[in-house]
Amino acid sequence: MADRTSHSLASRERMLDEVNREMYARNAELAVRNKTLSLLRDIDEVAMASLEPHELTGQIAQILVREFSFPLVAVAVMEGKHLTWMAAACGDKKSSICDVPVGDRLPIPLSHKENLCVKALKNGKRQTHDWLGKVFTPSFTAEEMERLDEKHGAKFALVFPMCSGKIPVGVLALGLNRAADDLTRYERETIENLLSLIMIAVQKAQTFQALKLTTSKLRVANNKLKALDSLKTEFLSIASHQLRTPLAITKGYVAMLEDGMVGKINKKQHSALENVRQSTESLILLVNHLLDLTRIESGRLQVKMADVDAGAIVHWVGDFLQAHAKEKGVALTLDVPKEPVMTQADPEKLKEVVMNMTDNALKYTEKGSIHIRLERKEGSVVIEVKDTGFGLSPEDKMHLFEKFARGHASKFVKTSSGLGLYVVKKLMEGMGGTIVAESAGKLKGSTFRATLKAATGKARLK
C-alpha cells in the first residue's frame, strides 16, 4: 500500500514538473513576443514621426543599440548602383565611427564583391564575418575598424539584407562583440521580425524624399515657365500694339483708293483692293485676338458693362460681313426682332464676340448658308449663329474653346489662328455669359449659341 502511494506521489511530481516547464517556456515565449511588439511599436512610432531618411534610420539604429547593447548598428540603402550609409549608432556615443556622419562617407559600389553588404544583397541571405572591416570597406579605413574593435570589442559582423521581393532596398549591419551564432533566440527572432518594418519605413522615407525633390524641381521649372510666359505675353502685347498702327494706315489708304480719292480705279483694280482690304481686316482681327489674349493672361482684361441693344450689334456685324459672304457664295441672313433686345454687356466686347462667331462660320462654310438669330428667352438674350459648313467632330468639341485649338477642318482654312473661340469664351465669361457649340458631326454644319443676361435701358453701340 505504501509503495503504491509513493509511486502515485512521484508520478504527480513529474506531471507538475512538466507543467511548470511548459508554463516557463510559454512565459518566456510570451515575454519575447511582448518585447518584440514593444520594439515594433517604437520603430513604428519613429516611422510615423519622421520622413527624413537620415533622421529615421538614425533613430532606428539607436533603438536597436539601446535594446540589444550591440557595439554598432548601421543602415545603408540602395541609391542607383551604390549602397549609401544613412546612419550608424554605437553603444558608446563617444566612439569615433559614430562621431563622423556616415552619410559623408564613400558609398559602396555593388561591384565591390568582397564587401559583406554587397554579398548579402546579391545572395538575399544574411552574412557573417569575424572582421567588421568587411562591412564598411571602402567607406571606412581598416584603422578605424580596428579602433572600434579595441574600444568595444566589435570584432564580429552580421549583415541582414532588406529586399522588397527581388528588389534590393538596403542592409542592416551589426557590429558584435560575440559570434553571430551566439545571439540569443530573442535577438535573432526579433531582428528578423523587425527587418520588414525597417525596410517599409526606409522605403516610405525614400519615397517622401524623392517626391520632395521632384516637387522642388517642378517648382523651379514652373517658376521658369511663368517667367517665360510673362515675357511671351509682354512680347505679344508690344508686337500687337506696334502692328496696329501700320495696319490702320493700310486700311485707311485702301479705303481712300476704293473711294477714288487719289484717282479713278477700274474694276480689276477694285477687286485687288478688295482682297487687300479683307486681308487687312483679317490681320486686324488677329492683332485684336493677340491683344485680348495678353490682357486675359495678364489679368488686365477690362469689361465695361452697360445696357446694350444686341439687335443693333447683330445688324452691324451682318452689314460688315455681307460683302465677304456674297463673294464666297454663302447666303448670310439675319433674324432680329424689330424692337430693341436689351442685354447687359460691354458693347465693344459683344461686338467682337458676334464678329468672331460669324467670321468663324464664314471661314468654315464653303457653300450653303449662315443664319444669325437673336431672341429674348426667359430673362436671357441668346445670339445664335448657325452654318452649313464643315461641322464638328466629337474630338473637336472637346477642345473647341481651348487656346490655339484647331479642328479637323482647319486644314481647309488658311487664316485660322486658333485664338478666336478661346478669346470669345473668355470675353463671354468676363461679361457673365456663356457660349456653347453644337454639331451633328462632320460636314453637317455647326451652331454657336452665346447667352447673356437680359436688361432694360438705353442702348450703347460704338
What pLDDT does residue 459 have? 46
Do 314 and 383 belong together in one domain?
yes
Q: How many domains does the chain have?
A: 3
Do 414 and 430 belong together in one domain?
yes
What pLDDT does residue 305 have? 93
Do 287 and 337 belong together in one domain?
no
Separation CA 460–CA 60 (nearest Å): 76
Separation CA 179–CA 260 (nearest Å): 110
What pLDDT does residue 184 have? 82
What pLDDT does residue 341 have? 94
What pLDDT does residue 460 have? 46
Neighbours of 439 (CB within 10 A): 22
What pLDDT does residue 415 have? 58
Of 153, 180, 211, the domain-final residue:
211
What pLDDT does residue 39 have? 72
Do 93 and 61 belong together in one domain?
yes
CATH number at residue 275: 1.10.287.130
Of 269, 240, 245, nearest to 257 by C-alpha is: 269
Which residue, chain included where needed, has cell 548601421? 74
What pLDDT does residue 334 have? 97
Separation CA 69–CA 198 (nearest Å): 18
Residue 458 lies in a domain: no
- The DSSP-derived string for 54-71 is HHHHHHHHHHHHHHH--S
Separation CA 375–CA 162 (nearest Å): 73
What pLDDT does residue 350 have? 95
Do 343 and 256 belong together in one domain?
no
Residue 262 lies in a domain: yes
Of 275, 301, 327, the domain-final residue:
301
Helices (H), 127-169: 133-136, 142-152
Residue 387 lies in a domain: yes
* Lookup: cell for 331: 447666303
Do 289 and 425 belong together in one domain?
no
Tell me the β-bridge partners of 378: none
Do 379 and 296 belong together in one domain?
no
- Residue 435 CA neighbour count, 13 Å, CB half: 27
Do 277 and 326 belong together in one domain?
no
Q: What angle do CA 323, 329, 335 make, to 5 degrees?
A: 65
Residue 362 belongs to domain spanning: 304-453
Residue 405 lies in a domain: yes
Tell me the β-bridge partners of 447: 386, 438
Residues 171 and 159: beta-carbon distance below 8 Å: yes
Tens digit of pLDDT at every position of the chain (462 positions): 555 566 566 676 777 767 666 665 565 556 556 666 777 777 778 767 777 877 888 888 888 888 888 888 899 999 889 999 888 888 766 666 676 677 778 899 999 988 999 999 999 899 999 888 899 888 888 888 777 777 767 888 999 999 888 888 999 999 888 888 888 877 888 888 788 888 888 888 878 888 888 899 999 989 888 887 776 767 666 666 677 778 888 888 888 888 888 888 888 888 888 888 878 877 887 777 777 777 777 777 889 999 999 999 999 999 989 988 998 899 999 999 999 999 999 999 999 999 999 988 998 999 899 999 999 998 999 999 999 999 999 888 888 888 877 666 666 665 566 788 888 999 999 999 999 999 998 889 999 999 999 986 554 444
Separation CA 311–CA 234 (nearest Å): 36
Do 297 and 308 belong together in one domain?
no
Do 25 and 146 belong together in one domain?
yes
The 3-state DSSP class for residue 150 equals: helix
Tell me the β-bridge partners of 365: none
What pLDDT does residue 205 have? 80
Of 301, 316, 348, the domain-final residue:
301
Residue 461 lies in a domain: no
Do 163 and 182 belong together in one domain?
yes
Residue 459 lies in a domain: no
Residue 460 lies in a domain: no
Do 47 and 193 belong together in one domain?
yes
What pLDDT does residue 325 have? 92
